Homo-oligomer: A and B are copies of this chain.
C-alpha cells in the first residue's frame, strides 16, 4: 500500500502547455496494473493543449474555475465537477478563473500494440 500526500510527488512541466504541471501520483512503477492517476495544475489564463488520442480521461476537479472545451460545446468546471472524455474526442482544459485550476485525471496505461 502506498499512501502519501500528492505534494510528495514532484511536479513536472507539461510540454506544449505553458505553466501547466503534472504529478504522476499513482503509476505503473507503483504496481498499478491498469491505470494511472495524475494531478494537474493549470495557472490562471493557462490551458492544456487542444488534442485528441485513443485513450479516455476520467477527471475530478479539485479547485479553481474553468471549462472544458469540447467538440460540441464548452462545459464549465469547478470543485466537484466530474468529467469523462471518451477516447478519440478533441478536448482542452482551460483555466478562466483567478486561481490555480487543479484536477486529477486518470488514464489507462498506454502500452504499444
Q: How many identical chains are in the complex? A: 2
User: What's the minimum C-beta distance from A67 to chain B, rounded to whole angstroms?
Assistant: 9
Residue A34 CB within 8 A of the other chain: yes
Chain A interface main SS type: strand
Residue-wise, chain A 8-33 has the 8 Å CB interface mask toward B (1 for contact) of 01000000000000000110001111
| Choice from B30, B31, B82 contacting A26 with Cβ under 8 Å | B82
Closest to A7 in B: B80
Residues of A whose CB lies within 8 Å of any CB of B are 1-7, 9, 25-26, 30-35, 37, 39, 56, 58, 60, 62, 68, 70-72, 75, 77, 80-87, 89, 91, 104, 106, 108
